[in-house]
Copies of this chain bind each other. A is one copy, B any other.
Amino acid sequence: MCKSCGCSSRSRNFGNIERFVEPCILLLLSKENSMHGYGLLKGLEEHCGEKVDIGNLYRTLRRMEAIEWVKSEWNENDAGPDRRTYTITKEGSEYLEIAAQSLTNTDKLLHKFLDGYRNMNQNNKTL
């Protein structure tokens, strides 16, 4: 049973935007200047409406650092475990722009579908 929409598919996913969390992270880092992973977790849910798997988040952050969209450094934390603090890089900012363009296109596709769907329903009602 599909988790996203409750449909009869045995899939776990439907309608997710692939790797959407990456531009969301970059946008948050652009606004907040620097954040640690656990803080991003909450920020993403509040600010971006993204529910994020914690394991997925940390792995994504390591991946993003590997390709130099973000950089990180360890900071001591008296109130708990030490934190790795992330900052966006120039490459990250460039990618954010590209991603925003790409997602604008995704948005157009979505609207084409949703308009088509509403249009169909409208026609059915007038029959």
Interface residue ranges, A against B (CB under 8 Å) = 4-11, 13-20, 22-24, 27, 30-31, 47-50, 67-69, 91, 95-96, 98-114, 116-117, 120
Contacts and interface: CB of A to CB of B under 8 A. Distances in A.
A20 B15 contact: yes
A114 B103 contact: yes
Total copies of this chain within the assembly: 2
Contacts of A104: 114
Contacts of A109: 17, 20, 48-50
A63 B11 CA distance: 11
Given A5-B98, A8-B67, A8-B69, 18 more contacts: A5-B101, A6-B98, A7-B95, A8-B68, A8-B91, A10-B67, A13-B19, A14-B22, A15-B106, A16-B17, A16-B18, A17-B17, A17-B18, A20-B113, A27-B116, A27-B120, A48-B112, A100-B114
